[in-house]
Structure 1
Amino acid sequence: MIRVLVADDQALVRGGFAMILDSYDDIAVVGEAADGVQALAAARRLRPDVVLMDIRMPEMNGIEAARHLTSGPDTTGVRVVVLTTFDTDEHVYEALRAGASGFLLKDIAPAELAAAVRVVAGGDALLAPSVTRRLIDRFARQAEPPARPAPVLATLTQRETDVLGAVARGLSNHEIAAEMFVSYSTVKTHVSSLLFKLGARDRAQLVMIAYRCGLARG
């Protein structure tokens, strides 16, 4: 059973997401929060697998709450998915830096919402092409990568470097395999190696590393 906490300052939004997720046999909404402070307290008390976190909330915004959740020793393993309205939120890049594992648009279809929760709970980042490519293109360019690749890239093989660049472009493992003419399992092995070598928790952090190292551009 995947345990989910929904944090949003709009009661109707919280209730809608909770109703949708509770309709699935493998997902249970264990709590709701109306602001970042409540979200932190609830996450520490309930230890959900996934927190759906709105960005714009009173008391403490979702970015700051995500930063506390992903770095706090008492919330280890709690994964954050940011809820965003793409056309208005200007802080998605900051959410990546805060440790968010993915993004959802608030008008997401119910089945896609459940699938996203499963993906993140399973240890991957939500880098769906329909959302993340646009997010990366718009917000990752806010970073100022160095003119030359960072030394950390020297630990990677050329193939791993190529895969990291593809991940930074928002490609899935299947898409990377097709582009590089290798098997899906080979790509999965390379991604696992990248996570280990670069000390990244998930694909979202790999994207951040790629941009910070100057490997990719928005």
Structure 2
Amino acid sequence: MDLDTAIRQRRSIRKYKSDLPIPREDIEAIVEAGRWAPSSTNIQPWRFIVVEDRETISAMARAVYDEFQALSKLALGKGERRLAAFCRFIRGYGSFFAEAPLVIVACAKPYENPVLKMPMATVVEKVGELEHMEVDIKPIVLDTVQKSVAMAVQNMLLKAHSMGYGTCVMDAPIAIEGTLREMLDIDDDLQLVMVVPMGVPESADVEAPGRLAVGEVIRYHQA
């Protein structure tokens, strides 16, 4: 499959054939595509936790469901009907992966400056002490690892699609970060970025949502 076809055909898939596991060699081919993504100063901060156990995946989804169910009840108790409705929506939207044969939790290692040999959080503090920057550079610098992981995941989505697998990028499960850390024994220094369920799509006919035209998203600067 050529790149343009993969880009245009890839869809967010939320229903999978749960009885069809993904072979380890396919999983590693998909991660291999991810590790060739660009990253700031080539730090390669991505780390991937691959979950294949069906009971664990089901427990993860249930924990997400229960969290947003509790939030919905709290919101309703305060008279926040719209907020409660939103939480009920996320309750299902964020836990659909219960039947997925595979879930990848994409994580990021903290950014350590390769020149100064110190954590970037420390570097940012020192730069801030110079009182020269127009903006607070802390989120710009510290979010670098998340951006790098996102680029790696995009590579993986395209590779998975080219191999016949469906995927969906999720961040709602990060709301139960502490639970996920405990369930999956994730190192404290890793930052959870997103969750990607994966499997053979239940249906091949998934309609593409519309996209804005190029003219709506591009502006040429006139000097």
**TM-score by shorter chain over 0.5:** no
TM-score where L is the length of structure 2: 0.23
